[in-house]
Amino acid sequence: MTLLEGSIGVEDLVLLEPLEEESMLKNLQLRYESKEIYTYIGNVLVSVNPYQQLPIYGPEFITKYQECTFYELKPHIYALANVAYQSLKFRDRDQCILITGESGAGKTEASKLVMSYVAAVCGKGEQVNSVKEQLLQSNPVLEAFGNAKTIRNNNSSRFGKYMDIEFDFKGSPLGGVITNYLLEKSRVVKQLKGERNFHIFYQLLAGADAQLLTALKLERDIGGYAYLNREVSRVDGMDDASNFKSVQSAMTVIGFSEEEIRWVLEVTALVLKLGNVKLSDEFQANGIPASGISDTRGVREIGELMGLDSKELERALCSRTMATAKEKVVTALNVVQAQYARDALAKNIYSRLFNWIVNRINESIKVGTGEKKKVMGVLDIYGFEILEDNSFEQFVINYCNEKLQQVFIELTLKEEQEEYKREGIPWKKVDYFDNGIICNLIEHNQRGILAMLDEECLRPGVVSDSTFLAKLNQLFSKHSHYESKVTQNAQRQYDHTMGLNCFRICHYAGKVTYNVNSFIDKNNDLLFRDLSQAMWKAKHPLLRSLFPEGDPKQASLKRPPTAGAQFKSSVAILMKNLYAKNPNYIRCIKPNEHQQRGHFSRELVATQARYLGLLENVRVRRAGYAFRQGYRPFLERYRLLSRSTWPRWNGGDREGVEKILGELSACTSEEVTFGKTKIFIKSPKTLFYLEEQRRLRIQQLATLIQKIYRGWRCRTHYQQMRKSQILISSWFRGNMQKKRYGKMKASVLLIQAFVRGWKARKDYRKYFRSGAALTLSSFIYKSLAQKFLLGLKNNLPSTSILDKKWPAAPYKCFTTANQELQRLYHQWKCKKFRDQLSPKQVEVLREKLCASELFKGKKAAYPPSVPVPFHGDYIGLRGNPKLQKLTGGEEGPVLMAETVRKVNRGNGKTSSRILLLTKGHVILTDSKKTQAKTVIGLESVAGVSVTSFQDGLFCLHLSEISSVGSKGDFLLVSEHVVELLTKMYRAVLDTTQRQLPITVAEQFSVKFKESNVTVKVTQGPRGNGNGKLSCKKKGSHGLEVTV
């Protein structure tokens, strides 16, 4: 038992001293601030919402509480769920867990934790796991369609839920049944400031893909829907898009078909689109106000979505048919009435859709009728409510809580009485407040408030909320728990808080003032028959099934039951169900209004404690005996208080307990009673006295144990030290001797080796050859060289002169030889390649080699000329006999014949010339004439200047002593300048045995007659040298050429 030892505050309020509201609140606050959110009142669990995730849940804690009894560990919701499940499984007692509290107190989370615990501890198997998954997945679906954000809670359940989970004889779940109570359907059409509509509307708009939204004729913008609060479209910590996917997945797991899911979403979209139907004022021919639809697009889209005739829907929204036994009268509705009809239709569609979803879930999780089963019920229902303006909804909610309080008191006292009877203890009558008089005031069949409300709704004539209030004032004027302005005036009492349209009931949790406005309308909950018939005519299967009364064959003039009568009947069935089961209670408390972690508002908690009747619960529990426990655990805990029972007791458990209490003076016969299996203690003070004595005794025993333990530890330590010292000494001495022997042995062997070596060298010195090392090294080197050369022979590369591969030398000593062999092999390949060439091919290669030596890396025109063969004749010399005569014939063949352009010395213009290169002369002639204009001997050519660009400009520098040179140098442009100058260079070399100087520069000097001109060559914008050459005079001594 850990209720007192090391606990924070008092873990069970039954043991609270003094028993006052202030001390109870202080205890709850102390535990809450220490993150201890659970507290017991006997077997009742009080849970304070922490507004944060605490590390006290999960498989580890489930296992811990599964293996312990109720009071063995700290208070926890798992402990209560475990007691309920174990009682159901092993004692065959049907259980119910009643979870009550205000909105935002954590009721929904508590029900989830109970269901997750039961799912974790019950049996395994494929079928069992499937049932458990279906039961757990019903939560997200019901939360989406039944929960909404309110001012007090971001995920508030706006309906009451009772789930019966059914188990087989082994404790494995078979299925279940869900019953829902009083869905807050008024939220569909109107929400308070700062609140949202039901989650599913926002999840649908945020999570549906574009294709689905188009099919549902919806738009993603929340601001476009009248039924949705535009100010609060999102909730912190809630992802609507992700939740929509989860809801779809959960519906699939439960067993909804894809078609059924689509039907549900279509009906949900219908509710949204109804809110956008705009109604406007119209007048009939006789001047009577009527109404009409200003924008028919919304009605038309609804008709397309649901398979409805838009005209039929418009008629049903804007008129009403009154049917009697003889005739039917059609009455036009004004705008206010038509808006009421539209909103009533939207509320009814959504409410009936929610009921259909619950019934569909029940179909999936129901159990066959032939199976014997045990039942655990979980009731998650709204707590007692006192608002600033309390209406019909608060009235029926508080009525339900009155009935639950009545059940709690009766079942608790009944349980106490049965336990006393089992233990053979006389039962004494307990004084407590019996709220039966309040329940009777509300639910009496003839004279109850609900009966009067139904009577007023059914009464012919003028009926209003005021006439209903007047009837209540007349009937209950002398009732002790009923007040109104009329009854207060009769008793000469003045209360400014009481309105003229209000009445007040003194509930068990306090006085609540109800405003009767709309009581009649909300109780009637009427839907015009025209709208029911219009919905039944729809081709949509689900929508049609929601309105069976619209079928003309089933039309009835009988008035449907009122909302109050339906709720009263549901509560009666619920009470009957609860009386048949063993109850377990979870009281949920909201610590503050702002959902802040760690903040505890005493005023708010005190109000909820009164609503929940926590002090009343404690008083009922303490009416007889505050504490009771079995003899065995009591003896195990307190046997150390008596020398007779400590350290060992061989007698019976009861005798041992009597021995213990007999030796303690404070445990008198008035405080302690012995039952058949349990010890009963009347006052918490006696239990605290036992705990204090136990604490002191534990200190004494701890001191004794410490003394004995320290002595034993010192003796044991000394003996271990002594043994260790002896062992270490023996090992140390042995190790030292081994090391010494090893050193001696090594020394002897070394001396022996030296002596043997000296003897061997002395005996065999005359047979030792001094040149053996050189011979061996020479032999090894030759072997390596032979191996290297033979390997190179087998791995020679191909004979292609372009193949540069060569095997690497295996040793560094062969690197130089390997390089020389590679060079020789390459020269051999080149020679072999040259031997295969014809004399003409050899001459061509020599010309190319000469061009490379002259221009490679110097002139940009060289690289493009490398792959182009040198032709020599570019003007068709062989076919032109006139030009052949110019060469004279004795100088051999023409080496080069092409058309060049000569730059004029005076104006820089160019003129076309034919250039012929022979072995002795350079001949320039007019392209139109056939006689030589200029003949230059090769011995007169002093040099050549070219640019580094890709142009064909070059200058022939002539020696001054020649006859032609007196006229000056020639500035020419050739398209084959590389080939021309290469052939000219070779011809000069062959003729004059001298090398022709070829200068590559962008600026050079040219002699024109008697003066020198500096030619400066620049590259134009095109920069490729193939463009038009332009010359420009720069004074008398400058010429700028742009190429």
Phi-psi region of 972 (alpha: psi -120 to 50; beta: other; left: phi over 0): beta
Residue 97 and residue 118: Cα distance in Å, rounded? 12
Q: How far apart are CA 988 and CA 958, in angstroms?
A: 13
Is 502 within 8 Å of 485 (Cβ atoms)? yes
- Specify whether the CB–CB gap between 454 and 559 falls below 8 A: no
Is 383 part of the annotated catalytic residue set?
Answer: yes
| Alpha carbon 396 to its chain's center | 41
Query: Is residue 385 flagged as an active site residue?
Result: yes
DSSP β-bridge partners for residue 167: 173, 374
CA distances from 89 to 371, 725, 786 (A): 16, 63, 95
Alpha-carbon span 450 to 441, nearest angstrom: 9
Mind spelling out the 3-state secondary structure of 770-788?
CCHHHHHHHHHHHHHHHHH
CB 1017 within 8 A of CB 954: no
Q: How far apart are CA 860 and CA 948, in angstroms?
A: 6
Q: Annotate 474-512 with DSSP letters as a single string.
A: HHSTT-TTEEEHHHHHHTT---TT--TTEEEEEETTEEE
Of 104, 175, 176, 656, the active-site residue reads: 104
Cα 365 to Cα 712: distance, rounded to the nearest angstrom: 64
Place of tokens 């044991």: 716
* Single-letter residue type at 200: I
CA pseudo-torsion sign 888, 891, 893, 898: negative
Phi first, then psi: give them for residue 70, nearest 5 degrees: -60, -50
Q: Up-side HSE of residue 945: CA atoms within 13 Å toward CB?
A: 17
Return the C-alpha torsion angle 687, 689, 690, 692, nearest 10. Answer: 120
Which residue reads 């757990």 in tokens?
136
Backbone angles phi, psi at 1001, to 5 degrees: -160, 155
153 is catalytic: yes
φ, ψ (nearest 5 deg) of residue 402: -60, -45
Distance, CA of 954 to CA of 1015 (rounded, Å): 11
- Round to the nearest angstrom and report the end-to-end CA distance of the chain: 108
Q: Given 108, 116, 229, 268, which residue is catalytic? A: 108
**Catalytic residue list contains 34:** no
Among residues 39, 82, 138, 157, the one annotated as catalytic is: 157
Strands 44-48 and 38-41: antiparallel
> Are residues 14 and 42 in contact, defined by beta-carbon separation less than 8 angstroms?
yes
Q: How far, in whole angstroms, is CA 493 from its chain's centroid?
A: 62
The H or E element that residue 763 is part of is: helix 684-763
Structure tokens at 633: 């655990």
| Whether 384 contacts 163, CB under 8 Å | no
Q: Which of 47, 82, 103, 925 is catalytic?
A: 103
**1040, 1016 in Cβ contact below 8 A?**
yes
Which member of 43, 111, 116, 156 is catalytic?
A: 156
Query: Residue ranges of the alpha helices (H) in 73-125?
Result: 77-91, 107-121
Task: Name the token pair of 872.
Answer: 């020599």
Tell me whether residue 101 is one of the annotated catalytic residues: no
| CA separation for the pair 201, 141 (Å, rounded) | 13
- Rounded to 10 deg, the angle between the 614-621 and 21-33 helix axes is 110
Tokens (6 digits) for 732:
């140390």
Identify whether the C-beta of residue 49 lies closer than 8 Å to the C-beta of residue 590.
yes
Q: Which of 100, 116, 150, 153 is catalytic?
A: 153
C-alpha span between 807 and 826 (Å, rounded): 13
Q: Which of 9, 383, 952, 1025 is catalytic?
A: 383
Question: Is 945 designated active site?
Answer: no
Q: From 538, 539, 546, 542, select the one nearest 261 (Cα to Cα).
A: 542
For residue 47, the SS3 value is strand
DSSP for 143-159 reads HHHHEE--SS-TTEE-S
Cite the active site residues: 103-104, 108, 153, 156-157, 383, 385
